[in-house]
């Protein structure tokens, strides 16, 4: 399933580029899936990591994901897919609230996604400074609110023994980037 999900996501995102780095977009879902795999999540969660943006950002439908990868993977992808008809603020508020009561696996995908995004920001910031915020529809202040709210809710309902190490890595990176 790992290779099928990887190949499918790479094909779905083939014409897209990363907003900040300009690299092929597929590098992002690959990084998310690898964080999940490295933390020991089951193959369906890793597959959903590869596929987490295909419904939101490509013509792929949730029914296609379900047919190819099963109900479990489709449900995980659906839980991470934003409703693009809503405003940025409403979409992010929904994610923040959802995260509070989400399952460990749902939280794991969201946090892996946000960690990889912040790592891209850190990389670009090293050469571009505060210009990095101009790549986003919402700048520093809104990105700070969103990421700090993710940190505030991601541990909710989890036992210390369940928390993947990369959650703490995300929290540290968030504090470092938004230290102003």
CATH classification at residue 172: 1.10.3210.10
Q: Lowest mean pLDDT of 11-25, 32-46, 123-137, 139-153, name the range.
A: 123-137
Tokens of 99: 């995260």
pLDDT at 180: 56
pLDDT at 58: 93
- Can you give the pTM of this predicted structure? 0.94
- Whether 56 sits among the annotated catalytic residues: the reply is yes
Which contacts (CB < 8 Å, 24+ apart) does range 144-150 have? 144/178, 146/92, 146/96, 147/114, 147/118, 147/174, 147/177, 147/178, 148/174, 148/178, 149/92, 149/96, 150/95, 150/96, 150/99, 150/110, 150/111, 150/114, 150/174
pLDDT at 126: 78
Active-site residue (options: 43, 57, 64, 82): 57
Q: Which domain holds residue 60?
A: 2-177
**3 state DSSP class of 17:** strand
* Residue for token pair 């993947």: 164
- Whether 57 sits among the annotated catalytic residues: the reply is yes
The model's confidence at residue 100, banded by pLDDT at 50, 70 and 90, is very high
Active-site residue (options: 10, 43, 56, 72): 56
pLDDT at 103: 97
Domain count, the chain: 1
pLDDT at 144: 93
The model's confidence at residue 134, banded by pLDDT at 50, 70 and 90, is confident
- Distance of alpha carbon 110 from alpha carbon 96, whole angstroms: 10
Tokens of 92: 């992010």
Whether 20 has a pLDDT exceeding 80, the answer reads no
Q: Please report, for residues 26, 62, 70, 144, 163, the alpha-carbon distance to residue 39 in angstroms, rounded to integers and kept in the order given.
A: 20, 26, 22, 26, 10
pLDDT 10s digits, 58-85? 999 999 999 999 999 999 999 989 888 9
């Amino acid at each position: 399933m790992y290779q099928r999900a990887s190949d499918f996501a790479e094909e779905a995102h083939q014409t897209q580029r990363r907003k900040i780095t300009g690299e092929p977009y597929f590098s992002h879902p690959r990084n998310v899936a690898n964080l999940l795999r490295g933390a020991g999540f089951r193959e369906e969660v890793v597959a959903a990591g590869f596929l987490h943006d295909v419904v939101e950002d490509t013509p792929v439908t949730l029914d296609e994901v379900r047919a190819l990868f099963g109900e479990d993977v489709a449900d995980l992808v659906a839980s991470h897919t934003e409703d693009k008809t809503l405003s940025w603020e409403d979409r992010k508020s929904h994610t923040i609230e959802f995260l509070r009561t989400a399952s460990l696996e749902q939280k794991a995908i969201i946090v892996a996604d946000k960690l990889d995004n912040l790592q891209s920001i850190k990389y670009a910031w090293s050469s571009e400074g505060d210009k990095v915020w101009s790549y986003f529809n919402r700048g520093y202040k809104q990105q700070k609110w969103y990421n700090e709210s993710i940190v505030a809710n991601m541990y909710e309902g989890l036992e210390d023994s369940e928390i993947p190490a990369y959650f703490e890595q995300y929290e540290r990176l968030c504090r470092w980037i938004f230290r102003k």
